[in-house]
Structure 1
Amino acid sequence: MERKKLFKNEVIQLFNTTSETLRHYEEKGLLAPEVGENNYRYYGFEDLQKLRQIFMFRDLDISIKEMKALDEGRLNKKNYIEVLKNHRLALKQKIERLINIEADLLQLIDILEKGENRPSYLLRSEKSRQFYLLSPFESDVMSSPKAYYDHHQSIIKRNNYSERTIQITYDYENLQSGEFINAQLCIEITDEEDKLELEKDNGELLSLPKGYYLSIFYPFRHGKFDELKKMHEEIELYLKDNNLSRIGNVVIEKEHPELSLFLAKDTSVFELKIRVKKNNCVLEEIK
């Protein structure tokens, strides 16, 4: 008799997937191919359509639990639309993160290819952002990770906090001092509920408008604050050469230890951002 269904190895080739993946979705009750002699699996058109759905849902980061609820008819059309909207928003945020990561890597590659400790510049568009200001740098608070955790514990437990996104802010002119900069720790507020709670606590907020920000990646040798004076001079020269001017005096800066491989042991990559405009033309229209 002519075989009409596909073997597992043929399905694997069709979807460029693995045997383990098919077994996983079968064990979770999302896939139910016909089981023949010797435990062979046979996949028909319905199974292939089901796999198309599963892989699309996986790309949207829809959970197995949500997939099963859809498969078992426990979600109506309205619920399904809501699920899709939520995951579309999450996907959009993920895309934005990946775009930022790509820009970070572009600047890191630029630094490494130069073969010397020179900064990398990139004009980047930013949406309007709000930051919650933590306490200024204090020696006792920053003396150990535990001291830092204990001091900021109430903030750390909120949805917005992430050690990966902790930043500092200070006045741009402080770069000229050649000394330790009296900066303030801050976290970007992305969760609306947290924003309302923080406002209730009368916490200090820093608002940055949408627009273009000059991102400057530079290798910083730990403790060498005197080198920041030269950094300030180079930024000013770059602004002049590229017909740019600063808007305001606020600096947002963060460390990128994860990007500091192949630099000297006592050196980390820092990213400094300042809002800028093209002379005679404010660059702030962001789609």
Structure 2
Amino acid sequence: MQMKVKEVAELVGISVRTLHHYDDIGLLKPDTTESGYRIYSQKDLESLQQILFFKQLGFPLKKIKAIINSPSFDREEAFQIQRKMLLEERARLDHMIATIDKTIQHMKGAIYMSDLEKFEGFDFSKNPYEQEARERWGDEAVDESNNKINKMSNDEQKALGEEFDQIYRDLAAIRHQAPDSDEAQAGIKVWYDYLNKIGNYSLEAFKGLGQMYVDDERFTKNIDKYGDGLAEFMRDAMAVYADRNNFD
């Protein structure tokens, strides 16, 4: 049975624009009629299911394309790997839900909860964007960042996390200003300095990172939690900062 692009979009719950994008980048290319309409086969739907599992697990589209187009790609093996990863994610989420439940009971005075128990389930040792960073800017920069963080004490890492959160809140408060304004540039400099405390970001890498905030919907979703439009504001402000300070 063949389906048109709108029918597939409605069946899966994604936009027609997303399917067009997958076609444009060669990730999922259906057949087309003489009139130019995209027609999806059962095999295309199977491929789309696999793509969306990878995407749900945080794989970038470029990586997904490389995986499914590999001559050694095996669908069943991929499903087994995806299942294992989803089970691990479920276990992590269950742990965090349990921590929330205990926290609520602690707030009501029903149980006592130690400070250590309040942070059970959080795992900052895995960075879902690390592989993408390695591909874009090389192993050395990422390894340097990881080494710096790993050498910090728990208190130092906690302080670093609080500083991260505050920077985003401060930037969200000024996101409606022009990206090239003095206040916006002062705020984005704080972000640049913060990143270089834990890594070694060139101005070019800093500008590229800002672009990824908008190109990668995972980044956009997380950043815009602090304020709608923050990701775009940061991208523009980071680009201005990089261009103004690049004296090469």
Q: TM-score normalised by the shorter chain: which range applies? A: 0.3 to 0.5
- Structure ranking higher in helix proportion: 2
Greater Cα radius of gyration, structure 1 or 2:
1
TM-score of the pair, normalised by structure 2: 0.38
Give me the TM-score of the superposition, normalised by structure 1.
0.34
Query: If each structure's strand is expressed as a fraction of its own residues, which one has the higher value?
Result: 1
Determine which structure has greater relative contact order: mean sequence separation of CA pairs < 8 Å that are 6+ residues apart, divided by chain length.
Answer: 1
